[in-house]
Amino acid sequence: MKPRRVKRLFGSVFTRLLLATLAAGLAITFTVIAGFMIIRLHTENDFKRNLLFYTEYLVEDLGDPPDEHRAQEIARRTGMVIRFDHPEHSWQTGPLPRFFNFGRAWIHQDASGMQMGSSKGHHFIRLSHAGGELIFIATRDPHHSDEAIWILTAMAVAMGAILGLAYFYIRRILKPLHALKAGVDEVGAGRLSHRIPEAGHGELRDLAEAFNAMAERLNRLLHSKEQLLLDVSHELRSPITRLKVQLEFLEDADARESLRSDLAEMEAMVATLLESARLRHTAAALSLKSVSMGDLIRSLIPEFKDRRPGVEPGPLVDVPVNADPEKMRSVLRNLLDNALKHTPDDGPAVSISMAHRQDRLEIVVEDRGEGIPAAALPHLFEPFYRPDISRSRKTGGYGLGLSLCKAIVDAHGGSIDLVSTPGEGTRVTVGLLLR
């Protein structure tokens, strides 16, 4: 897994909530365990004290020297193992528990001289008696370990079930956030008509309602802006036409040519605005037909034969797509024109190539020119935006070319992406779906 994906995984709200739930569960578990251990410690102290008192009675009952037959009877009734070690006579009422080892036992000596210890969960008391050593071993139930394993297994299964339920519950709670993210992506891509479901209740529903209200306001604002541009463009056509007529009566030839150039520039800008607005509102402006994009590019390249450093075709494929040939010709012409404008005359030729990627056709226009600053990249497809803040005539254009290209490609249901590095060049990729 890549570091970025790991960072994203552990940075997500879902993962953090799940880890918080897990941490809380473990903290509660450890608290309960600690409480039981403290209770057990106090209980063991009471048990040891009672066992010491009981041992004194047993020692008196066994006599001096201790009676082996009496010890056998006591062992049968209590489950203890009683052992007497003496230089002349030793005996033991039964076998020692499995893995029991006096050498590795924890031992505590009482003020009376009795020694108490435990080994593998078996408690014992050792004391001097009748010239030898008397040992009482309180054996643990042999089924205790099996029961403990089953209890621990049941606890682990229960903890896993609880965490599993918490996992699915948290996913259900955070499901509206996934819809919200998808909505943000859609709005960020320019599809302002997208709305997210206003399901559930509480803060997440309020967030969904606020998002939809924001998208609606943005949609109205942008629609008003585009409608204003459209209306202004329509209104400009009539005075431009009248100016062109009046211009012919101007006697100064130099002034006439200068004004004619300015009017032509204004007329081209108005036409571009109208075309962009029409394409953004509906795809009905397209005249779709089956087009071989390879043939279209081959027919377009001769238009730039006199432009330096020239256009060099790369691999071209003859895969038919459903497109408007004139509109796509306009897109490619605009991209090649931009690439040539920003490439030195003595630099490498601008390349245009194609690639067939499963269900889409990619057209790539690439240059080795001056490149575009990183700060300008997010705004390149906005109307009237130009990285050249001087807006000089050297580079030409009105900042509408790439905006119009995106409008045309979007109307085709495709995509257009641009990557650029200052000093190294720019690469534009147009993706069209194959139907």
Distance CA 247, CA 394 (A): 26
Q: What is the predicted pLDDT for the residue at 7?
A: 64
Q: What is the predicted pLDDT for the residue at 391?
A: 43
Q: What is the mean pLDDT of residues 9-31?
A: 73
DSSP per residue, 219-284: HHHHHHHHHHHHHHHHHHHHHHHHHHHHHTT---HHHHHHHHHHHHHHHHHHHHHHHHHHHHH-GG
Name every residue whose Cβ is closer than 8 Å to that of residue 258 and which is 6 or more positions away in sequence.
Answer: none
Q: Which tens digits make up the pLDDT trace of 385-420? A: 766 644 444 455 556 678 888 888 988 889 999 999
Q: Which tens digits make up the pLDDT trace of 345-393? A: 888 999 999 998 888 899 999 999 888 888 888 888 876 676 664 444 4
Computed over every residue of the chain, the mean pLDDT equals 80
Q: Using DSSP, state whether 91 is helix, strand or coil.
A: strand
Structural element, H or E, at residue 148 = helix 144-188
Q: Which tens digits make up the pLDDT trace of 78-91? A: 888 989 998 888 99
Q: Which tens digits make up the pLDDT trace of 27-54? A: 777 877 777 777 766 666 666 677 777 8
pLDDT band at residue 191, thresholds of 50, 70 and 90? confident
Strands in 15-114 per DSSP E: 81-85, 91-92, 106-109
Closest among 393, 386, 390, 388 to 258, alpha carbons compared: 393
| 203-281 under CATH 1.10.287.130, yes or no | yes
Name every residue whose Cβ is closer than 8 Å to that of residue 152 and which is 6 or more positions away in sequence.
Answer: none
Share of the chain above pLDDT 70, in %: 82
Q: Which ranges in the chain are annotated with CATH 1.10.287.130?
A: 203-281
Q: What is the mean pLDDT of residues 282-303?
A: 82
Whole-model pTM: value is: 0.47
Helices (H), 104-143: none
- Which amino acid type is present at position 425? G
- The superfamily (CATH) of domain 286-433 is Histidine kinase-like ATPase, C-terminal domain (3.30.565.10)
Distance CA 293, CA 316 (A): 8
pLDDT band at residue 197, thresholds of 50, 70 and 90? confident
Q: Are 200 and 47 in contact (CB under 8 A)?
A: no
Q: Which ranges in the chain are annotated with CATH 3.30.565.10?
A: 286-433
pLDDT band at residue 427, thresholds of 50, 70 and 90? very high
Distance CA 91, CA 82 (A): 8
Q: Are 294 and 361 in contact (CB under 8 A)?
A: no
